[in-house]
Structure 1
Amino acid sequence: MSVLVICPGKNPEEWVKELKNNHPGMNIYIYPEEHDKEEVEYVVSWKHPRGIFRNYPNLKVIASMGAGVDHITSDPEIPDNIAITRIVDEQLTRDMSTFVMALVLDHIRDLSQHFNNINWEPFYYKRPEEVSVGIMGMGVLGKAVAQTLVNNNFQVSGWSRTPVEVNNITTYHGKKQQEQFLNNTSVLICLLPLTQETENILNKELFEKLPQGAYVINVARGQHLVEHDLLEMLDNEHLSGASLDVFRTEPLPQEHAFWKHPKIKITPHIASITNPKSAAAQVAQNYERMTEDEPLLNKVERAKGY
């Protein structure tokens, strides 16, 4: 029984080190080094080559190296009997919460405008209690971001596919309640999982339901956003601006229109980066659970995509 680490373009050494620290007897291969495909029952993966898992007849579990699993679930050739897990990590959650808070504060205080302001001109700013923040996606990350914002006096609401209850936060769910949620949101944060239902959800039709001057933050996936719709809504001044940390193509091409747009702020997908030292323990624990035929932690529901 062996573990295979697949992460093209990423250095796997830290993951291998931490997995062995948590499970010294674990036999680990690093793709694409030589290995016996029939031995592999457990894969730790990030953006694997499409279709590769059909070559592993005894594969039981694919563990994502991060909170997102769309890079796995989007592969149609993964057999239905293979379980998929994701990372749920307190450090990852805290990192996302503080990053989003920083973006919201930057927006309401115009901090970027003040940097090196040679004219010494103050700008009007809003206070947290005056700002209604709406979060699309009320999973682990969405709930944590919401709580951080509430703790700092923002008015916060959340929207999700199905009903979710969170203390001190007004929640909406489903298509029927989406418009009411959007109508009351001046800062929209996307933390949705990427599924067939949520792809392209940040589009003109949705933006038009936001109040005039609303601000958009996307820290989920680039495929959530219809890029030309965002540009149109910024140029006609229905939206006041956007902070984007994720993109359809990464790195974002130098010739992309976003780079030159004065109302768009770009960060290089740094909102929340998995730390192997913090996350490897649960990956190793799931390996143990697999070998003992016990229920897996943070297992993905294949039908939902998250």
Structure 2
Amino acid sequence: MTAAPIHIAFLSQSASLAYFQPMMAERMPHAEVSVWPDPRCLEAEVAVCWNPPPGIYARMPRLRLIHSIAAGVDNVIEGQDTRGLPVCRVVDPGLARGMIEYVRWSVLYFHRQFDRMAVQQRERVWKRLPLQAAEACRVGVMGLGELGGMVARTLRDDGYDVGGWSRSPREIDGVTAWHGAEGLSAFLARTDVLICLLPLTDATRGILGARTFAQLPRGAALVHCGRGEHLVADELIAALTSEQLRGAVLDVFPVEPLPTDSPLWGCPGVVVTPHMASMATSTEVVSQVAANITRLTAGESLRNTVDLARGY
């Protein structure tokens, strides 16, 4: 007797994932593929997600696998009953390249004072500012996992004075590293440009707030491309207004898309980008999801599974 085709549902309440449907149908022609809000999604065995509707997994009695379309899974599991089901993410080598490019640009933006040049242009001021050597710019990377480690090594090789902070001890040649709550203050005190690449956990939620900003040198800058819920927007605006912080490049936000009435859009010193620092290609997403579905149906171990206790 031939097994029934597996049913795959693409679920999102904030973005249309319909463009994945023909790609997945071509990759797995015997599968049934539906896209939210099609009610047939509730009968799926595999949920492929980005910010899915609240409580959706509890309404899917046949669900066997939850799969993010990205490296992050916080918006895939937040407020959801995952029922002990496996949760997987996409790991794309191209993600590191894209993130390195984004962070490099952001660090240069502050190191070479392009933020101040933008103000001078608006005010029609012609004034050369002193040129600062890279080694005089102290960069701090929060999160020294695989991605953060690559970013730290790249900035080190670019000549910056690089420090790093992580939950547990990490060693990277040429990078001064701190760890744990006891190491955070020392790390922040020596950081002129703070880069957040942390995973989202209970311990890191809201970490980009007044307490952290106050421990940075006055006039420091923030580059945030970790998780939206790390940021306390009102406290960032207060730090910018008081000039404790000089500026911020923000790619992720607690609510996405960033509401049109958010004061961050027009806040002096803030650069807003629409969660585009780095992303897996659609082809890579479909390839990795399809490969895990094949393993699932064959009873084999899945790849890139998430430790839900740690959140990544």
State the TM-score, normalizing by the size of structure 2: 0.89
Structure 1, unmatched stretches of 5+, are: none
8 Å contact kept, 1:162–1:174: yes
Show the counterpart of 1:103. 106
Cα pair distance change 1:168/1:289, threshold 3 Å: farther
Aligned-pair distance for 1:220?
A: 1.7
Indicate the SS of the match to 2:308: coil
2:39 aligned with 1:42: no
Aligned-residue offset at 1:21: 4.2
Aligned-residue offset at 1:99: 0.7
User: Which of 29, 50, 55 does residue 59 from structure 2 map onto?
Assistant: 55
Q: Deviations over 1:96-130 (max 9, x none)?
A: 11011111101111224435834332223422221
Q: Matched residue of 1:35: which SS?
A: helix
Contact 2:140–2:165 under 8 Å retained in 1: yes
1:166 aligned residue: 172
Is residue 28 of structure 2 the alignment partner of residue 23 of structure 1? Answer: yes
| Match of residue 213 from structure 2 | 207
Q: Are the equivalent residues in 1 in contact too, given 2:14–2:51 (CA < 8 A)? A: no
| Aligned-CA RMSD value | 2.1
Residues 1:240 and 2:240 aligned together: no
Correspondence 1:197 to 2:209? no
What percentage of residue pairs aligned between the two structures are identical? 36
CA contact (8 A) 1:91 1:278 kept: no
Partner secondary structure for residue 10 of structure 1: coil
Given that 2:9 and 2:41 are in contact with CA atoms closer than 8 Å, whether structure 1 keeps it comes out as no
TM-score, structure 1 normalization: 0.91
Judged with a 3 Å threshold, the aligned counterparts in structure 2 of structure 1 residues 36 and 124 are, in CA distance, closer, same or farther, namely: closer
> Cα gap change, 1:238/1:57 in structure 2, threshold over 3 Å: closer, same or farther?
same
* 2:71–2:89 contact (8 Å) kept in structure 1: yes
How far residue 224 of structure 1 moved from its aligned partner, in angstroms, is 1.0
Q: How does 1:182-193 map to 2 (within 5 A)?
A: 182-193=188-199
What is the letter of the counterpart of residue 110 of structure 1? Q
1: CA distance, partners of 2:236 / 2:26: 46
The CA distance in 2 between the partners of 1:169 and 1:21, in whole Å, is 46
Mapped to 2, the partners of 1:158 and 1:23 lie a distance apart of 43
Q: Secondary structure at the match of 1:290?
A: helix
Q: How many residues align?
A: 304
Correspondence 1:222 to 2:254: no
- In terms of mean alpha carbon deviation, does 98-107 or 172-181 score higher? 172-181
Quote the offset at 1:45 in angstroms.
0.8
Match of 1:89 in 2: 92
Question: Contact (CA 8 Å) 1:51, 1:78: kept in 2 or not?
Answer: no
> Corresponding residue for 1:231?
237
Indicate the larger mover: 213-222 or 253-262. Answer: 253-262
Residue 153 of structure 1 and its aligned partner are, at CA, apart by 1.4
Q: Which amino acid aligns with 1:277?
A: T
Is the contact between residue 8 and residue 41 of structure 2 (CA under 8 Å) also seen in structure 1?
A: no
> Where do residues 276-287 of structure 1 align in structure 2 (5 Å cutoff)?
276-287=282-293
Unpaired segments of 5 or more residues in structure 2?
Answer: 1-5
* Aligned twin of 2:3: none
